[in-house]
Amino acid sequence: MSDSSSDENCSDWIFYKDRPEWADVTPVPQEDGPRTVVKIAYSDKFKDVYNYMRAILKSGEISERALTLTQDALRLNPANYTVWQYRRHLLKNLEKDLQEELDYIGDVIENNPKNYQVWHHRMAIVEWMNDATGELQFIEKMLDLDPKNYHAWKHRQWVLIKFNLFKNELEFTHRLIEDDIRNNSAWNQRYFVINFVNDFDEKVIHQEIEYALNAILKVTKNESSWNYLRGLLIHLDIGLLEPKVVEVCEHLYAQGKKSVHLLAYLVDMAIEKLQMERYEPSEETKVLVNRAKEICKELAEKYDVVRKKYWLYVLDAIETNTTALL
């Protein structure tokens, strides 16, 4: 938590300058220079705590009271990297119970779920303990609060790699995608797992293509599943022309589906096929390219107007490269 009026007015709070056990420490005020342009209006409590924090940093004191001071300082500013670093220094030298620290940082993260420094501190503690028991469950709890929390996902990937806990991760991503098929973070995590564990083995790629296509058939306008599909196809020599994918796309188009992602795929598919038959395009390819031109016009004028200039550029490029062929 950051400083608040409730903290400031807490009746049992005693300023460090008034605590007898801190009488031996001379506080160090913040040095803002001789010409402060915009002076920050720190509360009296904030200035008091950080004046003593700077004094402890300066002296290098290793003590229980210094550890307590870091906790007060971090309650006021949980993003202060220097204080977190010094807290880790104290924990190590005081040989503190790291499980207690893990419980503490868990509470801090729940109040500051998108703070880089708190997640970094948790990573350091887990690494010191060399034990990830319960870690994936903690991260899952945080993702329940915000399924797209970048810091939680980054920490999860670190835990998976560090402790080789990939066994049930695809099932985890599946549950998240089932809950919200548009959860781009879950799709990204699935891609990360396939990459790290299977290194895009061709058999796995085809299994995942089926998975992506099933998702696309459920929600044709979902950009996440289309991006996942394209990410898989770049690892196949045949690329966008993979037969099963082409079949599904043609089926959707025949049904009158006008998803921007579907239309864009058909354009790119035609271009890729033309590049493969650059000098002697087949009649089928000519048909696909002519359709791609019409789709570019539709995208520019109706379905993806925000990128009108892009689609007109693509249309011009197709026409320029096919004038002598079609």
Enumerate the active-site residues.
Answer: 114
Identify the CA nearest to 119 among candidates 85, 151, 147: 151
- Report residue 120: phi and psi, to 5°: -65, -40
CB distance 43 to 77 below 8 Å: no
> If DSSP states are collapsed to H, E and C, what string results for 232-255?
HHCCCCCHHHCHHHHHHHHHHHHC
- Report residue 9: phi and psi, to 5°: -100, 10
| Structure-token match 């670093």, residue found | 85
What tokens appear for 171 in the block?
């099932």
Q: What is the DSSP string of 256-289?
A: T---HHHHHHHHHHHHHHHHHTSSS--HHHHHHH
- Residues 231, 141, 220: CA angle, nearest 5 degrees: 35
Residue 140 CA, chain-centre distance (Å), reads: 14
